[in-house]
Structure 1
């Protein structure tokens, strides 16, 4: 029998009992054994056996449940920004120098736990002459030829790490690295010291060179000692003695490395100069020359060392003293702090005290505003002075909206030296929204003046106000008997309309008490005058109803000594002088002179001599009017009744009740037309009869 027939099994591997899914270990119960033989179904797995071994039955609360495992955290999240740091060094063999065999170069090793990568850096040293910095970029370093990489479990203090043919010695680590390794059961070794570099130690032990080097190498020593060390001086050049000269500031730099000088000009804002970087470039300035033939020609403009006896040095640049460079005298008035420390340490006996040469700027000239020229408003003229492109003056929009269409009208008369202007009356309108004033003159018939608008709406400045801060008339300044000066003319306010009185009473808090008192006094005068006029009208009505009034012939002596009394409204026409204001016209009762009786009536028959510069007609319709001598002559008495003489076939009026009293119309009462008698036409303000 062959072996295949005795043992038919060909599959001898064992079934997989452990697997991972999404990073979680999952045990699998084997169902097939070696050779593919089926196993018992009730066979327990390793975990089930462990669970049964640890099972502790309890009678009170039942079987205790196992604590669920903790949440899985990926490695790149758990170890993010966690880096292990090791300090170390490596030795580099030197083949070219007979004085040193190797160099000791310190390094810093960073191990990133996130992805098990390693980076090696070398601290940079100035003027080392070696490529330093990052030696190995961040990557996973191979550990051996089998493909293994260095892991943090393989690292420890006082051990060697080989990477790319170089052996790095780890000497110490930081506290975080030490705590991390101890938490994972790795005890760090004792730290070591980085061995000193033998070449650097030999230079420290050997004394300095005693041989004298040639002069050519002194420049190198000076350059290495004073490289990037510059003395800075602040100076100015005063050229005000020449035409169009000025005082300009400069900065003088003295380079200690090679003894050169450069001059830079200090440019100010908006000085009108091109900002060149240098006035004089970096060069050496000779202080004194050797004796040489003056007429000897020079093949170059540069001065050689053989021709110069002494060059300018730091001792020649002293604060508070002038220095001549290229024919210009520069006065040094200050220096910086490094220059002061250099002089204090190397040059004794030189005091560097700064000199105050900066002139304080002159106070700005006060801007004056030219006088107002009369064109436009004061704000418009002031805007031309404040800006190149004038802007419209700002307006109080809230005041304009609140006081829109509120106009206060006042009656005014002109104060003038011309007698013809005394009787002129004006209406002064004040616009509360804009504080503007307009003046209107009511047209008067046969006055010789057109009337109409005298002044358009404009803000009127008060007398004595200047153009910079003008003060304008407001409603507070307009009171009874107050004077308003408008463009050289003076107007006196005599009265106001009823709306002004109501507006002042409604806004009494915004007006001074003096202004309100004038209007209250004027209102009281109006009330008194109305009462007097009503009493006079009642008396006239009573006299008309009681009987007639007889006009008798007075005696000659009485006519010479007596003066006929007329109402005040007619007095202004009889007198050549201008009349007073209407508020002062009182009612004068008639007086009895002899047998002459005149009606106490505001509308009596008083033919004026002048009214509106129009003379009273002497004769109209063959009706002769007697001339007045010092008064008014009544008609001649004939039988107690004084009818007019009949002339030209004109019949006298019929007698009614003895005497026909005239009716009052418009202040002048001509007789009614009776019996075909027609009164004269109206001339110069005389009202014609109805």
Structure 2
């Protein structure tokens, strides 16, 4: 397309080139030197090399410059013409400073020839510093259409950017090396002229508002923060009218050497003043009374010239005030607190350790506090009226003590520690009626709140219905006078043992048995339950047998039989024989519960253990996995590998349980525990990972199908609880008595 510049660019004024035969649309991008760039059909590669950065003459000879385009070779390279620039500006408002020097930085971007001028920010300078000229191409000021280049930025020369003239005093090392490689000489860095305004402000800052002789307390604060010395003292004010001895706590703060004093008021002293005796402050040693207003000031002001005042930085004529320090305080010391003499009598353990470590003091004998002439009548305990029978004793006491009623407080720690701890005993009712003597009951004692409940066991065709006979409540001991101010006694756990008699709601019950938990709990707490203390029972038996030991052994020796238990032959006697022997020996001095304790302690029987069938558990696991359509053994192997880094090792039960839950195996916790019980384990109790994977692999190890079962009970059936103590180890019982050795020593 041809056109004449004299003609406007309008349709009809453009001539078509007759030599042009291809009228296709040219492509926009082409690859040159391995870089994709916009196509420029009007230039050749040689022309591009001869051109310089952005139309300027090149620094390199023809055909020897960089082959890459400037926007690639000079990307992120700034002729950090951190050119230290000095900008002079006239000032008409500041006295003795007709101009000011502003330090700016000019950045020249080699990538596209743009420039940026910025001024570093200085606090409290009063100038709107920052970016002065944003990044752009700067035109020359001579009227030409060319822009400023890096050759125009020379050290020890001036340059005009728009309407401001800058004097270049230096450049950074990158700019100097770049120009030197291009063959351009760079002058040395020039000295920066001083700014008269800055000199005036610097001289003015020498006169500080703060008194220079004040010391910095920051190090002391950081070292002793939250460290407080505590002294106990008193102030004797008996010389004044209605005065007495005031007990005080003196707190010394090591962080800033301040003192705070609080007064300790006796109970019912009648004082309604705040406890703060002295607020936290430094206490002067030599207090001479309150000075008139304006006599004491923080520092002295000097009138050096007419109308010019400066503070006395040297503190001429000022007297340094002495304050109490930590070395001035000790047991028995007298301190003057604004005219009141306070005597220190004792200190706390932290203060003693501080003075022992820092000051080497070892004597911390307390000083005797003088007695007070006035005696305060302490509140006597209230005499409560007799109980009238309405409500409970706790409610009646609350009505007599306070107006606003509150529910009685419970022992929270006892409730938390003993919650769900129940002692169950079997009982029969003692009555003159034959039908009542045949009734069976379960009496439950709740250790968390000392309450009792009675449940009747229904007997067929007895005429009595099964259910709650006495609901859960506290039961008082019989034969007490309830109409007294004192709280009546109630049943405790020590009243419950086999053979005891209880009166509950005017019904008499005789305890005939106890469950396994009650017996074990009482045996594990022998000091709380003397009837279950085997050492105390055996001591009682030993004292009774001391004079007739041989006759006792000979009397029951023919009832001893040999029993084969757990592959061993044991000399045993039955429970009835042991009960008759101890009853004949001690009579009423031994209870049925103590006999049961002895039988359980020397029992020759061992309770049977529950053994789970491995094949049944495997079939149950496979049945659960198949029923819930789980078949992701690869994910389980990967998860175990990330946990142990080896699927042929061992893993703890806790980690394996977490892995099973993480991989969403549809197995209930009871079934998982049964599965762990049949898997192989090492000496540390860890499970073999490979055996576990084979155990749950439904595809490889197919197990026979089973009928649906109860996962909690039927997989590993629980054997019924067997009562131990039916057979007693006679030899162990005789050895525990230990009288044979004593008899041998006496005969010898």
Structure ID, larger Rg: 1
TM-score, normalising length from structure 2? 0.32
Higher share of residues assigned helix: 2
